[in-house]
Chain A
Amino acid sequence: MFDLSPDEWIAIKLSLRIATVATLVALPIGVGVAWLLARRQFWGKALLDGLIHLPLVLPPVVTGYLLLISFGRRGPIGAFLADYFGIVFSFRWIGAALACGVMGFPLLVRPIRLAIEAIDRKLEEAASTLGADRLWVFLSVTLPLALPGLIAGLVLCFAKALGEFGATITFVSNIPGETQTISAAIYTFTQIPGGDAAAGRLVLVAIVISLAALVAAEWLARRAGMRFHGE
């Protein structure tokens, strides 16, 4: 029963690629935003915080539609990126990655922000008296101490990106081999007669990938935590 068809493999590999790219591109931006929210007071901070969390509370279809009208071929940002950089999101897998990244972003930022807020700033002061400038304080003290939060954020974002459905299908549709992720494929299989077996196989795959990500995160977080408290 557990023979995956080539189409199913394609959906799985595509899902992994989209989720990985979305998470890795979102990571540096997420760390920067988390640091800003944790450490800086600036005009519009509440607005930025709200905007980031919006995909969490909006219906995903709404987020997808907003992406379509801004990042689509005719959208202001989409047209600009296509004309000057040749980057096209519409009906492409990187469009799916964008949608997944946006949906996962609040889940990425929140644990990192909490981890940074929990760091004793006196340690950062000590680092600066030892000759570290602001960037090095961040790289050598803040970031390593925020590592457990970083791992948690990465896993949540990756899991969200892997399972994202509504925003992706609204923004870049459901094209096999290009934008059809595991979730979209499962949905498609459940819509056609006799697709139950294929849908079932993909459901199992989704469970296995998600569990593996969870276990890996738990293991990494424990290792990072151990470094602070033991030898």
Chain B
Amino acid sequence: MSVLALDVEKRLGAFSICARFESAGGVTALFGSSGAGKTTLVNMIAGLIAPDRGRIVLDHITLFDSSSGTNVPVHRRRIGYVFQEGRLFPHLTVAGNLDYGRRMSALAPDPAEMERIVHLLDIGQLLERRPGKLSGGERQRVAVGRALLMRPRLLLLDEPLASLDEARKREILPYLERLRDEARVPMVYVSHNAAELARLASSVVWLDAGAVHAVGGVKLLERRPA
């Protein structure tokens, strides 16, 4: 049974992507060197880029299908997205950022869930601050919390640790492991760092030059240590 099934093609100038894979849930790692098309693929899942051809299905719901002209708009996909640079809203407090997805998705306030996520990511002491006053690690934790609190059907994480130094990465990895074990949301985790993925992923999709090079378990990553 697949949670996410994807079969897409897209030309972007000289670069082209032609990828197909299925994911059974858990943490699916999208692995590959920079320029392999990882972010483009994730943007297609989120709905920020439309493929030229193909299908994207999540939980039996067709998000995109070029043959029937289906293309669910970004804001109705309910897919949480943690960007490399966080992209927190500078004019809102951390609490305002966390609550944004719930308000925009017209979900009822759920203080228990808020409490759980805030506790899970250990961001309770940051709630009244503005994003401009956060460290890189804190910012990414808030970005993860913001994406989770919209109750997504899928969580996309695009190199969430790439902008952080080694110490900050070590600080955040345990939170992401807890997230995997407790949040019960399927995730697609993009990274070019094999060691990071080996700790988090349940399955690996290896991209190379816009095409799927190999699909398999975490063992795949041992073939090419980063």
Chain A residues close to B by CB (< 8 Å): 120, 122-123, 125-133, 136, 140-141, 144-145, 147, 227-231
Residues in A neighbouring B175, C-beta threshold 8 A: none
- The answer to whether the Cβ of B224 comes within 8 Å of any Cβ in the partner chain is no
| Known contacts A228-B132, A230-B130; A130 and B90 CB within 8 A of each other | no
B75 in complex: contacting residue of A131, A144, A228, CB < 8 Å: A131
Q: Is B105 an interface residue (CB 8 A)?
A: yes
Question: Taking CB as reference atom, which chain B residue is nearest A122?
Answer: B87
Q: Could you say which of B78, B85, B130 contacts A228, with CB atoms under 8 Å apart?
A: B130
Contact of A126 among B76, B87, B106, B130 (CB under 8 A): B87
- Contact (A127, B89) CB under 8 Å given A132-B75, A132-B104: yes
Which residue of A131, A140, A231 contacts B150 across the interface (Cβ within 8 Å)?
Answer: A131
Q: Judging by beta carbons under 8 Å apart, are B91 and A129 in contact? A: no
Once A230-B132, A230-B133 are accepted as A-B contacts, the answer to whether A127 and B100 lie under 8 Å apart by CB is yes
Q: Name A147's closest neighbour in chain B (CB-CB).
A: B91
Identify which of A120, A122, A126, A229 contacts B132 (C-beta below 8 A).
Answer: A229
Using A131-B150, A132-B104 as known contacts, say yes or no to A144 and B128 having CB atoms under 8 A apart.
no
Q: How far is the CA of A130 from the CA of B148 in the complex (A)?
A: 10
Question: Is there an interface contact between B129 and A123, defined as CB atoms closer than 8 Å?
Answer: no
B130/A131 in contact, CB under 8 A: no
A-B contact count (CB 8 A): 78
Specify the main secondary structure of chain B where it touches its partner: loop
Which one of B77, B90, B106, B147 has the greatest number of beta carbons of chain A within 10 Å? B90
Q: How far is it, in angstroms, between the C-alpha of A122 and the C-alpha of B42 when the chains are bound? A: 15
In the bound complex, what is the Cα–Cα distance between A141 and B75 (angstroms)?
14
Bound form: Cα–Cα A125–B90 in Å: 14
Pick the residue among B48, B89, B128, B150 that contacts A123 (CB under 8 A): B89
User: Which 4 pairs across A and B sit closest by C-beta, in order of nearness?
Assistant: A131-B105, A130-B101, A131-B104, A126-B87
A122 / chain B contacts, CB cutoff of 8 Å:
83, 85, 87
Contacts A130-B150, A230-B133 known; A144 to B104 CB distance under 8 Å?
no
B94 to chain A, nearest CB (A): 11
Kindly provide the distance from the CB of A4 to the nearest chain B CB, expressed in whole angstroms. 42
Q: Which residue of B lies closest to A141 (CB)?
A: B89
Q: Once the chains are docked, how many angstroms separate the CA of A17 from the CA of B90?
A: 36
Inter-chain contact A130/B87, CB cutoff 8 Å:
no
Closest to B77 in A: A129
